[in-house]
Structure 1
């Protein structure tokens, strides 16, 4: 079985079948760089980063491109507020965005394509639409004529704006032929950036840059287009109309993949709602692995709530895996049964991910494997370590480095505690226990010795079944 993903265009989960076998040309709508990236961006781009990683793991040759909208009404307004040039504002926030993506561990993008660098291609595509009778000129620029493209609406199932759409990006002009017609090229306004072209002096509309960029990179048709669900209408509908009308070929994209939205405090995040959280704010509250885990523990098509509780749960889940990693003896001899168990877990994880990138189910397989290992009398060996390495190379959510100095110190303290208990100096032994507890280290005395682990925020008996014991000492 190959990889299957939900296709927004066909409204079903279906096999990913690129135009060239084994080669995936993948485009995801990038940011408009007028402000710092927010945690909604973090969710979307982390989930597409994971998709690109997984496709590569499964043997596909992937070219992953994102556009950078560096000329737009929002950027111009922000530049005027700051008393700066729009190009400089865009460059500053593009740099900040790329730093934020790196800080999140999102490293899979091959091409960042700026609108500024594709003006010639944008103009050429608008001219093709004019020549084919799909565009017309008004006093404020050139518009796409929706009446010439009967397929408009096939992605979203509608042709009119609704509550929650990006209405700021729906161009208003009483002279438009059709209510939903959108700007392809905006005529120059005093004080705004512009280019002198055959379309007249002006600048691109928002929708046209994506199709001009993808045509330049991939041609008029390619394999996979991604973005959050709030871009389906009108943005992605406009992309389909532009490129298919300009080229006469369909479909523009074989597979449309959309991620669910992120909600904060029960509502879609926005500055006006007062629940706007930047990536930098989030990374100040939590480490990048915990954020990645929070996003990747959810099915990509689902909306999710980002909250303190969600981050605590993600941190606790990570801790259970990291505690297990401390128990692994990578140099031990192990039975074939242990090797088979680790390989079976990995194979089952891949099966779950092949089925619409079901990351929650894949992680559940990992936790099931860890639970069974913890219930075994045998110490996990090299095959368990290899499984953790494979999983983390893909997910990048666990800190698997052995903290040998800390572990040795804890072991020494547990040995000293055991000696104090044998000497019946229980007050001193309890002091060691309390000191370790203050450092987040839980210890438990058993018939087989003392075991320890790093405390979860929601520590319980079930958690201890999944959390690996650390170093043990008799006593």
Structure 2
């Protein structure tokens, strides 16, 4: 199995340092508002990586933090007039509910910055003792970047190029523009903790170094996060951790997922251009969200659109139909081995999920063909479900779809004429037929009957949306 590391920029053979257990740290969310589908994208990508490593026989110790004290949390809590801890707790609980709905496996440990102060202070003290950090006149503590000859190795940037774009806030007492805060002295209206340098709170970067060192040790096998964290966050983590321990590398493989875009910009809370996970799950199944995200390589940026996720909904339905197909099974059984081999080869090549999913769809097609030809399909279905599970797919009907009675939709099919030869048994099958029938009626200029389909679907809570690529459907809110 080969994995591409941001640090080296090339694919390298992967095996955990101790041969059995993968130590994996992934940067988590700052819980100050509702999580959006960009967070879901990152969660699903690293969940996929974890699941495949477990599929390969490794034990994965997976640590994901919560940055539960941060400028953004403090600012929003102050605006709402509630304690920062209350705001963070509210969104952490919401985050867990949404991750469960997306079928994200729970991490081994979810450390929180506010619960790791002793380790954070220990690391800062160690850096000061070694000359890598200093206490400024205002009792802020900064990391001294000029002391670290390797600073910039992850982002492949020089200090000079960083300084050219740096901005130093007035009143900040740094030795160098790129020095970054390890400890921030207390300010009025902010939470604070006691420290050897006076009351204050930790900087963002030191939190992850301390938490990973405490829960995974001095060398990680995999450190992950979004591509927007490469600099400065992950660059600073390397500097802090390697300077504190005196050991290299801090992480053997650095994996960064591409960012989700809405239009031409990345989806983010700060830009306000986001779709929340809750909103997405009201419209689409978790499997559809998975297929949409994993249809592209985890390192690639991805553009979000309703049309793309609706296409993934239809793809998820095709896999579900194949997994639930029946056959008398008198002919030669479907051989799933070639598809299993393709899946493994794709995933062994830096987690090429697009090719792995293509193998799943080809296997599903072969199962459906086998069912039509009365061949044995049960073993192939076991393989399909198992490989889908490696990607985190459940192949179950979405809860919102399960609750929908198909009887009135089947009655509508009879009403508008030309019902299919085989009775549809799933919502997606019913909708595919009705959309095709409506298109045929419009082409034949039977507009009143075609419009009857749209109106009746609206009454049943289903909206049709006509576009350049055809007609899409969604469950109305």
Quickly name the TM-score band, shorter chain normalised: 0.7 to 0.9
Residues 1:306 and 1:161: Cα distance change in structure 2 (over 3 Å): farther
Q: Please say which of residues 271-280 and 230-239 is displaced more in the overlay.
A: 271-280
Aligned with 1:77 (options 75, 82, 94): 75
**Aligned match of 2:108 in 110, 131, 138?**
110
Aligned to 2:192: 194
Alpha carbons of 1:171 and 1:235: their partners in 2 closer, same or farther (altered >3 Å)?
farther
Q: Give runs of aligned pairs for residues 89-168 of structure 1, distance below 5 A.
A: 89-138=87-136, 139-159=138-158
What is the match of residue 383 of structure 1? 379
| SS of structure 2 residue aligned to 1:68 | coil
Instruction: Name the CA shift for 1:437/1:160 in 2 (closer, same or farther; >3 Å).
Output: farther
User: 1:8 and 2:6 equivalent?
Assistant: yes
Alignment of 1:238-317 (within 5 A): 238-271=236-269, 273-317=271-315
| 1:393 aligns with one of 386, 389, 405 | 389
Decide whether the 8 Å contact of 2:322 with 2:365 is kept in 1.
no
SS in structure 1 at match of 2:34: coil
For residues 260 and 81 of structure 2, the distance between their equivalents in structure 1, rounded to whole angstroms, comes to: 32
Whether 1:319 aligns to 2:313 is no
Cα separation, 2, equivalents of 1:200 and 1:435? 72
Q: Which residue of 2 aligns with 1:365?
A: 359
Distance 1:313 1:402 in 2: 15
Q: CA deviation at 1:334?
A: 5.4
| Cα distance, 1:46 vs structure 2 | 0.9
Measured against aligned partners, the alpha-carbon deviations of 1:248-300 in whole angstroms (never above 9, x if no partner) come to: 11000001011000011232123464422211121122222211221122211
CA spacing shift, 1:258–1:271, aligned 2, 3 Å:
closer
Aligned equivalents of 1:432, 1:38: Cα separation in 2: 33
Which residue in 2 is equivalent to 1:179? 177
Name the residue aligned to 2:443.
none
**Which position in structure 1 is the counterpart of 2:339?**
345
Deviation at 1:310, TM superposition (A): 0.8
What is the CA deviation profile of residues 209-252 of structure 1, one whole-angstrom value per residue up to 9, with x for unaligned ones? 00101111122212110001000000000000001111111000
RMSD: 3.1
Aligned-partner Cα distance in 2 for 1:351–1:21: 21
Indicate conservation of the 8 Å contact 1:64/1:111, yes or no. yes
CA contact (8 A) 1:26 1:62 kept: yes
TM-score by length of 1: 0.81
Which whole-Å CA distance do the structure 2 matches of 1:15 and 1:282 have between them? 36
For 1:93 and 1:242, how far apart are their aligned partners in 2?
29
- State the secondary structure of the residue aligned to 1:207: helix
Flag structure 1 segments of 5+ consecutive residues without an equivalent.
Answer: 414-430, 461-475
Aligned residue for 2:111, secondary structure, equals strand
Q: Tell me, yes or no, if structure 1 residue 236 matches structure 2 residue 234.
A: yes
Q: Distance in 2 between matches of 1:395 and 1:204?
A: 37
Secondary structure at the counterpart of residue 63 of structure 1: strand
**Could you give the per-residue CA deviations for residues 33-76 of structure 1, whole angstroms, max 9, x where no partner exists?**
11111111000011111111111111001100001111111111
Q: Matched residues in 2 for 1:78 and 1:274: separation?
A: 14
Structure 2 length-normalised TM: 0.81
Relative to structure 1, is the Cα distance of residues 81 and 346 closer, same or farther in structure 2, using a 3 angstrom cutoff?
same
Q: Per-residue CA shift, 1:106-137, capped at 9, x if unaligned?
A: 12411100011110000000000000001111
